[in-house]
């Protein structure tokens, strides 16, 4: 039964990541059908992001209270219903409401499925399970623009949502048949803590989206200020509460603290690069959406192939050395994107994107698994939920950071003379340098950290070792 769990988690991860990346290419077509301006369509993206931000924090409590299988099936059902409603939406208002329903389901699907992996597998087997479950998530953002461009160009934008229905049905059947209904001991719902965390996450998400849409910076600064105040109040609350939604003791776990900080900081550049490359190909080089999607396929291939090397690499070199080195390599690959031109060899395109996909594949699995490596059973739900919130914010920050840098550099006459290609190149250099520097965070790991995830017995079978 447990052998199916990584694939069930993979389906959930794929659905969420595909949906997050496939919509952007279809927004102009949806706007035409709904008789709206394309500039108004960002509300569909914001509503989904806000729903994710609001409901990820409570996914752990709901799983502990009602059982992992029940919440997983319910979340996939909600996500699938939201997808169907999106496809049937006659107006932007209905589409926004449908995206909220989608977001509520998406907020619980991935955290709950990953929680089952943590609780179902020994620590020495968890890395392999997590490794298998994250492959589709890496492929989703690459395949998404390609599918979106194809559906819009040759079929209908409605299929960017309808494609979720058969995957969702398969996920519900597999979840019902194979997923254990694990419950936790914590039945106390931290209402005050949830409100404060939700307020902080919503304000941060809205601030990021406003930056992305080139709105007045004062609004974003104000929202970040409210976010900061909410977090301060939460820390005060968590010190007094007997059962806070995110116990502060989590940050006393060395690997969790470093993993959370490393995830947040290093993902700024790592998340921006896959977002900027399709824009470079379409906006600066003039490629079609479909052709740009095809050019990104080496990233997907590298993600698949790279997964087979994750365990041997981590076992041989250890988490600390791998994360320091690999983060630097990702930064150098991002910087190397400055060599791309419209008439560059397809081999150069493929080589750089292949390297980016391979290093990202190793990075995500290593960061996620070391973050969860040493969580005790009574903290797995809250720790997993906090990591999911952290990742969502990091990805949003990264995309916003990339978009803002391109916009700033393209408007600096003395730097780029309104040369959009040069603006992209300078952005890649800045993000690459920042990513290289973020690798210093992982220097705080100890050489022995993560050994309980990669230890093997003499017969090459995984065994559990205590640190």
Q: Which long-range contacts (CB under 8 A, 24 or more apart) does 222-229 make?
A: 226/199, 226/200, 227/199, 227/200, 227/201, 227/203, 228/200
Mean pLDDT confidence for 228-237: 92
The residues pairing with 462 across neighbouring beta strands, listed in sequence order, are 456
Of 80-89, 144-153, 197-206, 330-339, the range with the lowest mean pLDDT is 144-153
Give me the number of domains the chain comprises: 3
Check residue 333 and give its pLDDT. 93
- Pick the more confident residue, 227 or 412: 227
Whole-number Å distance between alpha carbons of 392 and 143: 19
pLDDT confidence bin for 331, thresholds 50/70/90: very high
Residues whose CB falls within 8 Å of the CB of residue 251, separated by 6 or more in sequence, listed in order: 257, 260
Q: Judge contact between 253 and 373, C-beta under 8 A.
A: no
Tell me: pLDDT of 77 over 90.
yes
| b (16+ CB within 10 A) / e for 338-367 | bebeeeeeeeebbebbbbbbbbbbbbbbbb
pLDDT confidence bin for 326, thresholds 50/70/90: very high
Check residue 332 and give its pLDDT. 95
Mean pLDDT confidence for 78-87: 92
Tell me: pLDDT of 329 over 90.
yes
Of 95-99, 137-141, 441-445, the range with the lowest mean pLDDT is 137-141
Whole-number Å distance between alpha carbons of 294 and 194: 42
Q: Judge contact between 83 and 199, C-beta under 8 A.
A: no
* First-to-final CA distance of the chain: 29
Residues 226 and 284 in one domain: no
Residues 349 and 326 in one domain: yes
Tell me: pLDDT of 85 over 60.
yes
Check residue 466 and give its pLDDT. 34
The proportion of the chain whose per-residue pLDDT surpasses 70, expressed as a percent, equals 84
Check residue 132 and give its pLDDT. 66
What is the sign, positive or negative, of the torsion defined by CA atoms of 371, 377, 379, 381?
positive
Mean pLDDT confidence for 412-437: 82
Q: How far is CA 142 from the centre of its chain?
A: 13
Nearest to 88 by CA among 78, 99, 77, 72: 99
3-state secondary structure 221-250: HHHHHHHHHHHHHHHHHHHHCCCCCCCHHH
**What 3-state DSSP class applies to 418?**
coil
Whole-number Å distance between alpha carbons of 140 and 147: 10
Residues 262 and 125 in one domain: no
Residues 215 and 302 in one domain: no
Tell me: pLDDT of 271 over 90.
no
pLDDT confidence bin for 459, thresholds 50/70/90: very low
Tell me: pLDDT of 335 over 90.
yes
- Pick the more confident residue, 184 or 94: 94
Nearest to 47 by CA among 31, 23, 70: 23
Residues 45 and 140 in one domain: yes
- The alpha-carbon radius of gyration of the chain (Å, integer) is 21
Mean pLDDT confidence for 221-230: 90
Check residue 460 and give its pLDDT. 38
Mean pLDDT confidence for 294-321: 80
Residues 237 and 259 in one domain: no
Q: What is the mean pLDDT of the chain?
A: 80
Residues 125 and 12 in one domain: yes
- Residue 280 sits in a domain whose CATH number is 1.20.1250.20
Instruction: Give CA separation, 431 vs 210, 267, 365, 384, in Å.
Output: 21, 10, 21, 28
Tell me: pLDDT of 84 over 80.
yes
pLDDT in tens, 279-300: 788 778 877 766 776 777 787 7
Residues 185 and 237 in one domain: no
Check residue 5 and give its pLDDT. 73
Tell me: pLDDT of 207 over 50.
yes
Tell me: pLDDT of 119 over 80.
no
Check residue 467 and give its pLDDT. 36
Residues 418 and 302 in one domain: yes
**What 3-state DSSP class applies to 456?**
strand
Check residue 463 and give its pLDDT. 36
Residue ending a domain, among 242, 269, 304, is: 242
221 is in which domain, residue-wise?
191-242
Mean pLDDT confidence for 345-367: 87
pLDDT confidence bin for 458, thresholds 50/70/90: very low
Residues 32 and 140 in one domain: yes
Residues 58 and 178 in one domain: yes
Residues 201 and 109 in one domain: no
Mean pLDDT confidence for 147-166: 82
Check residue 457 and give its pLDDT. 30
């Amino acid at each position: 039964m447990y052998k199916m769990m990584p694939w069930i988690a993979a389906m959930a991860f794929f659905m969420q990541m595909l949906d997050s990346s496939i919509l952007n290419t279809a927004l102009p077509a949806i706007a035409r059908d709904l008789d709206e301006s394309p500039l108004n369509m960002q509300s569909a993206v914001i509503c989904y992001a806000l729903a994710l931000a609001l409901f990820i924090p409570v996914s752990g409590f709901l799983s502990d209270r009602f059982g992992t299988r029940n919440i997983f099936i319910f979340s996939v059902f909600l996500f699938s219903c939201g997808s169907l409603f999106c496809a049937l939406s006659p107006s932007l208002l209905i589409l926004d409401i449908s995206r909220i329903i989608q977001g509520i389901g998406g907020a619980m699907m991935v955290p709950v499925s990953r929680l089952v992996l943590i609780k179902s597998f020994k620590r020495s087997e968890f890395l392999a399970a997590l490794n298998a479950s994250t492959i589709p998530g890496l492929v989703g953002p690459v395949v998404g623009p390609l599918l979106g461009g194809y559906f819009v160009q040759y079929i209908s934008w409605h299929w960017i949502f309808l494609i979720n229905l058969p995957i969702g049905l398969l996920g519900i059947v597999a979840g019902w048949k194979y997923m254990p209904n694990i419950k936790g001991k914590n039945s106390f719902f931290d209402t005050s803590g949830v409100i404060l965390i939700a307020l902080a996450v919503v304000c941060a998400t809205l601030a990021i989206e406003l930056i992305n849409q080139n709105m007045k910076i004062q609004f974003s600064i104000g929202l970040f200020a409210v976010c900061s105040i909410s977090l301060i109040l939460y820390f005060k609350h968590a010190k007094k509460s007997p059962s806070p939604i995110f116990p502060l003791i989590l940050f006393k776990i060395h690997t969790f603290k470093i993993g959370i900080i490393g995830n947040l900081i290093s993902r700024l550049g790592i998340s921006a690069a896959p977002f900027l490359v399709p824009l470079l190909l379409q906006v600066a080089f003039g490629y079609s959406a479909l052709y740009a999607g095809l050019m990104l396929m080496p990233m997907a291939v590298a993600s698949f192939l790279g997964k087979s090397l994750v365990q041997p690499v981590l076992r041989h070199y250890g988490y600390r050395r791998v994360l320091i080195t690999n983060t630097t390599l990702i930064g150098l690959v991002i910087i190397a994107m400055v060599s791309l031109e419209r008439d560059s060899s397809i081999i150069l395109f493929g080589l750089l994107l292949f390297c980016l996909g391979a290093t990202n594949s190793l990075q995500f699995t290593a960061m996620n698994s070391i973050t969860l490596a040493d969580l005790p059973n009574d903290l797995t739900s809250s720790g997993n939920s906090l990591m999911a919130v952290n990742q969502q914010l990091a990805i949003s920050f990264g995309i916003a950071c990339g978009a803002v840098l391109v916009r700033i550099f393209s408007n600096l006459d003395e730097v780029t003379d309104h040369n959009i290609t040069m603006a992209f190149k300078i952005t890649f250099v800045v993000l690459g340098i920042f990513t290289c520097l973020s690798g210093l965070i992982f220097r705080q790991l100890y050489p022995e950290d993560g050994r309980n995830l990669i230890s093997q017995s003499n017969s090459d079978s995984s065994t559990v070792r205590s640190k």
